[in-house]
Amino acid sequence: MRILGIETSCDETGIAVYDSEKGLLANELFSQIKLHQQYGGVVPELASREHIKWTNPLLESALQNSNTPLDDIDLIAYTAGPGLKGCLLVGTTFARSLAYSLDKPSLSVNHIEAHLLAPMMEAPELRFPFLGLLISGGHTMMVHAKEIGNYELLGTTLDDAVGEAFDKTAKLMGLPYPGGPEIESLAKKGIVGKFDFPRPLKNKKNCDFSFSGLKTHILQTWNKAEQTDQIKADIALELQHTVVDCLQSRLQNAIEQTKATSVVVSGGVTANQFIRTSLEDFGSKAGLAIYYPSKNFCTDNGAMIAYAGYLKYAANQLCDLEGEVRARWPLSET
């Protein structure tokens, strides 16, 4: 069967075609980063308008590149939450209208569930149960994924998401949005040990996260510092070290709690090579198999929505919220 996947939850319009036999056939993406950069963050109303502009052309190129006549689409999967309401409404309306006109089924996909399942697209050996560590700009959570549609939330952030720690640190040092890639490239020139940031929730034996205290600490450090390019790089490097320590300690607690042997790490922050390599080292010492999506599936995309839609359909989990969108949509309710 052929599944069309539609993602419009934030600042990326993604449309993809996935074939249950042949795999991913097309994955079209338009990123709005340049538009939002001038405002230092995503402006919801502008994001919605861009989605309206891009859904149709991306659909056309996805169909063309996958050699799929519209009538050959068997299922339309779309992100119904969590995300920005106006943005979600664009994708939802587009997907449901298309499904209606083609007389094909449509299916609501939870964006977080799609991030967690994305690595399975490239690693068919990955099996449930596994631990899911989602690290993005909007979400930070540790999940025990038991089977499709059965997720236990082990911990989440008490304040900021990991991506926000990167974005806010970058912003205060005068770097453009999104901060993650900027911090990563700056950190390459950083000197180890120049700073020593506190590790949030270090001694707490749970899987929660907290990054707002770290943000305040970095702000104070920056205000007191000389504010040179070298200091920026040193702060960037220490931020990466702090994040890695924090993710590892949360993972350690989750492993003790669940005895899991596989971990899926997903979400935009997974694009960071330093974090990937550090967690891989941690995994090999702890006897864990660590799975990442490849970099183009780390940040938001339509492929993960099409793929999650296929898995949900195959598992007979045919949720369609029928036009309702959920700015918040807990995984336990999928």
Q: Closest distance between Zn ion and the C-beta of residue 334, in Å?
A: 15
Beta strands in 195-276 (DSSP E): 262-266
Binding piece for ligand KG4, criterion CB under 6 A, among 100-108, 147-155, 172-180, 250-258? 172-180
> Between 289 and 308, how does the x/- string for binding to ligand KG4 read (CB under 6 A)?
----------xx--------
Q: Closest distance between Zn ion and the C-beta of residue 267, in Å?
A: 6
Under 8 Å between Cβ of 282 and 246 = no
Count of residues near ligand KG4 by CB under 6 A: 19
Tell me which DSSP letter residue 299 carries: S
Under 8 Å between Cβ of 209 and 243 = no
Q: Tell me the C-alpha distance between 209 and 199, whole Å.
A: 10
Nearest to 108 by CA among 314, 316, 332, 322: 322
For residue 113, state whether it binds Zn ion (rule: CB under 5 A). no
For residue 189, is it left (φ>0), alpha (ψ between -120 and 50) or beta?
alpha
Element containing residue 106 per DSSP (H, E) = strand 106-110
Q: Which of 27, 79, 108, 136 binds Zn ion (CB under 5 A)?
A: 136
Q: Closest distance between ligand KG4 and the C-beta of residue 38, in Å?
A: 16
Nearest to 66 by CA among 28, 26, 18: 26
For residue 300, state whether it binds Zn ion (rule: CB under 5 A). yes
Element containing residue 253 per DSSP (H, E) = helix 229-258
Q: Closest distance between ligand KG4 and the C-beta of residue 138, in Å?
A: 4
For residue 179, state whether it binds ligand KG4 (rule: CB under 6 A). yes
Residue closer to ligand KG4 by CB (options 53, 171) is: 171
Q: Which of 267, 293, 302, 309 binds ligand KG4 (CB under 6 A)?
A: 267
For residue 271, state whether it binds ligand KG4 (rule: CB under 6 A). yes
CA atoms within 13 A on the CB side of 31: 10
Structure tokens at 226: 């000389």
Binding piece for ligand KG4, criterion CB under 6 A, among 36-44, 87-95, 209-217, 269-277? 269-277
Residue closer to Zn ion by CB (options 177, 197) is: 177
Q: Closest distance between ligand KG4 and the C-beta of residue 178, in Å?
A: 4
Q: Which of 10, 73, 87, 114 binds ligand KG4 (CB under 6 A)?
A: 10
Q: Closest distance between ligand KG4 and the C-beta of residue 137, in Å?
A: 3
Rg (CA), the chain: 20
Pairing, β 106-110 against β 75-81: parallel
Residue closer to ligand KG4 by CB (options 28, 184) is: 184
Residue closer to ligand KG4 by CB (options 13, 136) is: 136
Q: Which of 18, 54, 94, 166 binds ligand KG4 (CB under 6 A)?
A: 166
249 binds, among Zn ion, ligand KG4, none (CB under 5 to 8 A by kind): none
Instruction: Write a three-state SS string for 257-303.
Output: HHCCCEEEEECHHHHCHHHHHHHHHHHHHHCCEEECCCHHHCCCCHH
Alpha helix ranges (H) inside 103-161: 111-117
Burial grade of 65 (CB within 10 A; 0-12, 13-18, 19 or more): middle
For residue 160, state whether it binds ligand KG4 (rule: CB under 6 A). no
Tell me which DSSP letter residue 157 carries: B
For residue 110, state whether it binds ligand KG4 (rule: CB under 6 A). no
Q: Which residues bind Zn ion (CB under 5 A)?
A: 136, 300
Q: Which residues bind ligand KG4 (CB under 6 A)?
A: 10, 136-138, 163, 166-167, 178-181, 184, 267-269, 271-272, 299-300
